[in-house]
Structure 1
Amino acid sequence: MKIWKTLAVTGTLLLAAASLAACSSKSSSADKGSKDYTPKSLNIQFVPSSQADTIEAKAKPLEKLLKNELHIPVKVSVSTDYNSIVEAMDSKQVDVGFLPPDGYVVAHKQGAADVLLQAERFGIKQPGGKNTDKLVGSYRSMIVVKKGSDIKSYKDLKGKKIAVQDVTSSAGYIWPVAELLQKGVDIPKDDTLVTVKGHDQGVMSVLNGDTDAAFIFEDARNIVKKDVPDIMNKVVPIYFTKPIPNDTITVRTDMSQAFRKKLAAAFKKIVKSKEGHAIISSIYTHEGYVNTKDSNFDIVRKYDKIVNDDAK
């Protein structure tokens, strides 16, 4: 009798343990895909598109402005490249990333980030590269060469030395490479590529004769205008790509919807303030932020595929 009682108790305990294990497994699975993370402090990271050596100091004042809006400590830092931000967001070390469209697509595919906002910039009028007064949600990449160069069109680029950005940069790599591949020009295989930090450095490398051409965003020549007033005459465009979706502000995938709304409102408010606009405009030439959606970046996935297929 005692044996049967012992077996019955043991069986009950085993069933209870199995039930708890199942519940625990189910709970862990649910937690993994949950979106209820509300930061007690906020880590923001970005990669400078120009003036990499001074950009972190310029961005630091954002910490105070965001803290005033969110009422939590905020830390702003600069990463060496976009892949580092994606990895940091994936490991939950960074909450918010300023990512270009291609960087965002990579982060979203890995399940590291969701898009929160998309930047607006002033349109650019050519020739001359002057800003218009119209805010737009896209921009172009341009290929520039030194005036008087024997490179008159993209067809003349074979065998040349070209300044590019990181391979995840839409304007500094993906867009020009993809479009020229479709035109029969294989830049990665036929040219010597020199990776520089910042589109301003791409312009200067052409001006100084260190490279024959550069892939830059339109119109990055304006960044160096203060130091080289006649840069528009010395470095000239030979090609413009089709439009590229503007940069993104992305967030961790587990961030709560309530905090996302609060964060989006904070960025929109700050960029409209005198102090906030000066900071953000000096970092990325962003003039404003609007709500967006993932499907707006399908064109980026198309261009990525063109480049990746060629690399195989």
Structure 2
Amino acid sequence: MRLGMLLIVLMGFCLGGFPASAERTGAAGSPLRVLLIPADGGTEDGTRADFLPLFNAITRTSGIHFDVQTGQSYSAVIEGMCAGQAEIAWLGPVSYVEAHKRGCADLLAIEERDGSSTYYAGVFVSRDSGIDTPDDLIGKSIALGSQHSASSFSYPLAMLSKAGVDPLRDLDAVRITGSHANSLLALQNGLVDAAGASFISFERAVNQGGLSASGFRLLIKSDPIPNPPIAMHPGLSPSVKASLRSSLGSVHEMPGIRPESIRGYGGKQVDRYNTDVSDELFEAMASTIGFIDTDYQAAILLKSGS
């Protein structure tokens, strides 16, 4: 009997579920575990610090407690959610879609600023490179971030393809750097001819002193991309899900909460977190980057030597 019960518990973990004895309630002694993708390096004073004010504000106004950590990679956060190691995750749009398809994540909220829940990515080149059109990149190299990133991987590939440049056939080399900042630094240091990154990551790197804005030029701008969403594990109890939606959706209106505590991607202050959004927001994204299937992604990684 004991062996049977042990097997049931182990199976629950392997399937990404939450055995009753391990279910988190959000109480002080049972905080909800939050995993954040390492959008800009994932350091303790980086991505985690961006979101601590938000989760601390929710704790003050609702009594829900959190243990906020940054994952080592985009894929580590996806796997953490699917292995039942976190109840909440801040994911890139592509990462969210992957986790949702695997049954590991449901949409909780998306940040909103000036009524918009989208952002932009770009393909950047050096100002004095002589690269003036996408065709000028033929035979040259590009740096991309994590393969699970919308704005530093999928959208740059889509932008090039839309402009008539086949990344697999026409580029001499693709470098996978793991992050927006690393790709921009590779471009700044002359290691590649172009880099894909979000506008927010570019601005942050410039503000932190790591990049000189005057040395870069925007070659291609993306279509609007859904902001990175906050997701919750489907295995949470209905009462915890309802509390999360209510608390996150109203925290910006709560007395005593400073507006600068409501922060999001890149540490930027946002107006609120919209908990009424649906997965329809990601449909346009799916049509834009839908050609990047498993085989295409594998071909890009092979070309990069990853």
TM-score, normalised with respect to structure 1: 0.74
User: Could you say which residue in structure 2 is the equivalent of 1:150?
Assistant: 130
In the TM superposition, residue 83 of structure 1 has moved relative to its aligned partner by 1.8
In the TM superposition, residue 146 of structure 1 has moved relative to its aligned partner by 0.9
User: Could you say which residue in structure 1 is the equivalent of 2:99?
Assistant: 107
Q: Does 1:231 align with 2:216?
A: no
User: Could you say which residue in structure 1 is the equivalent of 2:302?
Assistant: none
Opposite residue 160 of structure 1, the aligned amino acid is K
Opposite residue 117 of structure 2, the aligned amino acid is G
The separation in 1 between residues aligned to 2:180 and 2:252, in whole angstroms, is 23
The separation in 1 between residues aligned to 2:250 and 2:292, in whole angstroms, is 37
In the TM superposition, residue 104 of structure 1 has moved relative to its aligned partner by 0.8
Unaligned runs of 5+ in 2: 1-11, 300-306
Opposite residue 90 of structure 1, the aligned amino acid is C
Partners of 1:270 and 1:276 within 8 A in 2: no
Pick aligned residue for 1:220 from 182, 201, 226: 201
Does the C-alpha gap of structure 1 residues 158 and 39 become closer, same or farther in structure 2, counting only changes over 3 Å? Answer: farther
Does the C-alpha gap of structure 1 residues 33 and 46 become closer, same or farther in structure 2, counting only changes over 3 Å? Answer: closer
- Deviation string, structure 1 residues 212-253 (Cα, Å, up to 9, x no partner): 211011243321333559933221101011111111010011
Opposite residue 94 of structure 1, the aligned amino acid is A
Does the C-alpha gap of structure 1 residues 141 and 196 become closer, same or farther in structure 2, counting only changes over 3 Å? Answer: same
User: Could you say which residue in structure 1 is the equivalent of 2:284?
Assistant: 299
The separation in 2 between residues aligned to 1:306 and 1:237, in whole angstroms, is 24
In the TM superposition, residue 254 of structure 1 has moved relative to its aligned partner by 2.1
How well do the aligned residues superpose, as a CA RMSD in angstroms? 3.1
In the TM superposition, residue 107 of structure 1 has moved relative to its aligned partner by 0.6
Q: Does 1:176 align with 2:168?
A: no
Partners of 2:106 and 2:231 within 8 A in 1: yes
**How many residue pairs align between the two structures?**
269
- The SS at the match of 2:123 is strand
In the TM superposition, residue 170 of structure 1 has moved relative to its aligned partner by 0.7
The separation in 1 between residues aligned to 2:143 and 2:175, in whole angstroms, is 5
How many percent identity over aligned positions?
A: 22
Partners of 1:105 and 1:300 within 8 A in 2: no
Partners of 1:48 and 1:78 within 8 A in 2: yes
In the TM superposition, residue 62 of structure 1 has moved relative to its aligned partner by 5.2
User: Highest Rg: 1 or 2?
Assistant: 1
The separation in 1 between residues aligned to 2:266 and 2:289, in whole angstroms, is 28
The separation in 2 between residues aligned to 1:45 and 1:230, in whole angstroms, is 28
Partners of 1:203 and 1:214 within 8 A in 2: yes
In the TM superposition, residue 209 of structure 1 has moved relative to its aligned partner by 1.8
In the TM superposition, residue 294 of structure 1 has moved relative to its aligned partner by 1.3
Does the C-alpha gap of structure 1 residues 163 and 113 become closer, same or farther in structure 2, counting only changes over 3 Å? Answer: same
- The SS at the match of 2:25 is coil
